[in-house]
A and B are shown apart, each in its own frame.
Chain A
Amino acid sequence: DVKVTQSSRYLVKRTGEKVFLECVQDMDHENMFWYRQDPGLGLRLIYFSYDVKMKEKGDIPEGYSVSREKKERFSLILESASTNQTSMYLCASSLSVRGRLAGGPGETQYFGPGTRLLVL
């Protein structure tokens, strides 16, 4: 079974703090993703990565950055947290042949349990 873990289930931070959310997958997947989930909006893609040290912007990258130094680990960074970044953050991974588009047709994504972040 694929296992995707996230470093924290709940996190409380103050406005202006730098926040790190960590995600680790244990199935040698090439693609990794960060989403945020808000009521009534579904999941929105922040960033994704299809290889070590590679990253691509998703639909809502503003205010976020990412780091992928190792294949199994994908970090989401909030450089200066703001209250509108209070949300549920979900990490996912998928298996892909090197060079294919991340999350291409038929690609199943496997999700971690999520981190609920509150920014005060």
Chain B
Amino acid sequence: AQSVTQLDSHVSVSEGTPVLLRCNYSSSYSPSLFWYVQHPNKGLQLLLKYTSAATLVKGINGFEAEFKKSETSFHLTKPSAHMSDAAEYFCVVSGGSQGNLIFGKGTKLSVKP
């Protein structure tokens, strides 16, 4: 069965410092992996997705994620945080019941001035 674990429920960084949001997955086959972002009172927006092409995936707004099969990880990074990055981030793996997406519980990112 597929599952996803976001290791931090809340991450706080200062503006201009790097961002690391951690995600581990479990899958019985080669999965597709996604990161979505949700700004306050908004729907979810796709940041990036991995579908077995390059292991380093670049997304929107300067975010990227690296698929590491040996570590079953798909951590999200950004070199320099911006105030507008404050939001909730969801790591997602494909392959739930009937092939649907399985969402992590989310990591809330706070950015201090």
Contacts and interface: CB of A to CB of B under 8 A. Distances in A.
Given A42-B105, A42-B106, A106-B51, A112 B43 contact: yes
B9 interface: yes
A45 B49 contact: no
Nearest to B50: A106
Contacts of B49: 106, 108
Contact of B99 (A41, A43, A105): A105
Contacts of A62: none
A90 B92 CA distance: 15
Interface residues of A, number: 30
Contacts of A92: 44
A111 B106 contact: no
Interface string A30-69: 0001010000111111001000000010110000000000
Interface string B93-113: 011111111011110000000
Interface in A72-120: 90, 92, 101-114
Nearest to A35: B103
Contacts of A44: 103
B94 A113 contact: no
Contacts of B31: 105
Given A42-B106, A105-B31, A107-B32, 8 more contacts: A40-B9, A90-B43, A101-B98, A102-B99, A105-B99, A106-B51, A106-B94, A108-B34
19 contacts: A9-B41, A42-B105, A59-B96, A59-B97, A90-B43, A101-B98, A103-B96, A105-B31, A105-B51, A105-B95, A106-B32, A106-B51, A107-B32, A108-B46, A109-B101, A111-B36, A113-B42, A113-B43, A114-B43
